[in-house]
Structure 1
Amino acid sequence: MSQVSKRIVVINGHPSDTSFNHALAHNYVEHVKTLGVHVDLIEIAKLDFEPNLKYGYEKRMDLEPDLMNALEKIQAADHLVWFFPVWWGGLPAIAKGFIDRLFLPNLVFSYRENSNRVIGHLQSKSARLITTLDQPGWFYRWYYGEPSTRQLKKATLQFCGVSKVKVNYVGTVRGASSDQRQKWLNQIGKYAEKDCQRISS
């Protein structure tokens, strides 16, 4: 497969580079590289930016160079892949700050003139969310209503025009054996293969 015109951007929302999320994200990236598809990696915690949208929407904060670079990668991508852990039911603060600062009006969406209706600017893209849990994915979905992935899928990505968003849970991570972790890493490779096939078809 050599569809170099297709692009995937992987966004790692875990703040630690020794985390299992980090290993999963890098494993995905390496698999994509072997399939001939261009892939960019955004390590949110390594970006130099102010994660606090300190003026709300009253005053626009200039995007730092790292955020501008991240925006360009997202805009150029055909497929977005997010990795993050579920903490207190939601996303890590640094990942939420990245979204708050970057997913802004006239950047990834805009409002129709004299209307509250939205035009998403990411309409040609698809996405996959891969998140780690200290509980089974079915329990997070059934008991808690999967707030982190529902928020990112529906209120962020689909709001901005991304129509096809797949969600995958990795858990229970706490106390998992090395064999189990390797199985998850292998599964990530299969996701990478499926994503490359889908965007290249």
Structure 2
Amino acid sequence: MTKHIVILQGHPDTEGSHFCHGLAMSYADGARAAGHAVELFEVGAMDFPLLRKKSEWDSGEVLPQLARVRAAIEAADQLVVVFPLWLGDMPAVLKAFFEQVLRPGQGGTTPPTRGRRCAARVVVTMGMPATLYRWYFWAHSLRSLRRNLFGFVGIKPVRITLVGSIEAIGPARRGRWLAHLHALGRAAG
């Protein structure tokens, strides 16, 4: 069954040389190879303001530069989000992006995906070992993302892939991670 997949590459640095970029592209390549429709967005390359007032959250219009992304998310069967762990959470620009595109918009309409099925795959790279983040820190930011953000708009299930000790892994292990994301993309999982 062909799926519509939206990939959000959330590394703020747009140079494209970070492992997050490679992981997002591997997933996209795998999904396209399996015949899925794929839209990939570089969040760090988008220009949008921070939400600063409750009135902006409640009824501010969806910004023209984000309308296409919001429409893609509304139509998606699978949302893939790739980002590095910064200070124990997603980078600020990615959080600000989600505040813009997942809020009610244009007179208080419901957030995208509410009332329809959309699954998510979240891929997080980090400097610490993934097991340390998951068990010692309880993956607190991912729990919040799953419950408070994706749960708010009805995105479920949310599957998590953690890539730990990113600075210490060599080319062979990076290759295995890229192959794994390619396989996940083929399966739209």
Select the structure of larger CA radius of gyration. Answer: 1
Per the normalisation by structure 2, the TM-score is 0.89
Match in the other structure for 2:167: 174
CA RMSD of aligned residues (A): 1.7
2:33/2:186 contact within 8 Å kept: no
How is 1:35-114 mapped onto 2 (pairs within 5 angstroms)? 35-50=34-49, 52-55=50-53, 57-59=54-56, 60-105=59-104, 106-108=109-111
Q: Matched residue of 1:131: which SS?
A: strand
Q: CA deviation at 1:194?
A: 2.6
Q: Match for 2:7: what amino acid?
A: V
How is 1:136-175 mapped onto 2 (pairs within 5 angstroms)? 136-175=129-168
Q: CA deviation at 1:142?
A: 0.9
Q: CA deviation at 1:157?
A: 0.7
Per-residue CA deviation, residues 90-136 of structure 1 (Å, 9 max, x unaligned), is 01011011011122132417xxxxxxxxxx71531111111001122
User: 2: CA distance between counterparts of 1:137 and 1:40?
Assistant: 28
Q: Matched residue of 1:183: which SS?
A: helix
Identity %: 30
User: 1: CA distance between counterparts of 2:65 and 2:117?
Assistant: 24
Unaligned regions of 5+ residues in structure 1, if any? 110-119, 197-201
User: 1: CA distance between counterparts of 2:116 and 2:146?
Assistant: 13
Between the two structures, name the one with larger relative contact order (CA 8 Å, sep ≥ 6): 2
Q: CA deviation at 1:80?
A: 0.5
Q: Match for 1:155: what amino acid?
A: N
Per-residue CA deviation, residues 57-102 of structure 1 (Å, 9 max, x unaligned), is 2334433222101000000110101101111100101101101112
Match in the other structure for 1:27: 26
Q: CA deviation at 1:183?
A: 1.0
Q: Matched residue of 1:42: which SS?
A: strand
Q: Match for 1:98: what amino acid?
A: F
1:123/1:163 contact within 8 Å kept: no
- What is the aligned length? 181
User: 1: CA distance between counterparts of 2:133 and 2:8?
Assistant: 22
Per-residue CA deviation, residues 27-48 of structure 1 (Å, 9 max, x unaligned), is 1111111110101001101122
2:51/2:96 contact within 8 Å kept: yes
User: 1: CA distance between counterparts of 2:61 and 2:120?
Assistant: 27
1:132/1:171 contact within 8 Å kept: yes
Q: CA deviation at 1:175?
A: 2.2
User: 1: CA distance between counterparts of 2:186 and 2:29?
Assistant: 11
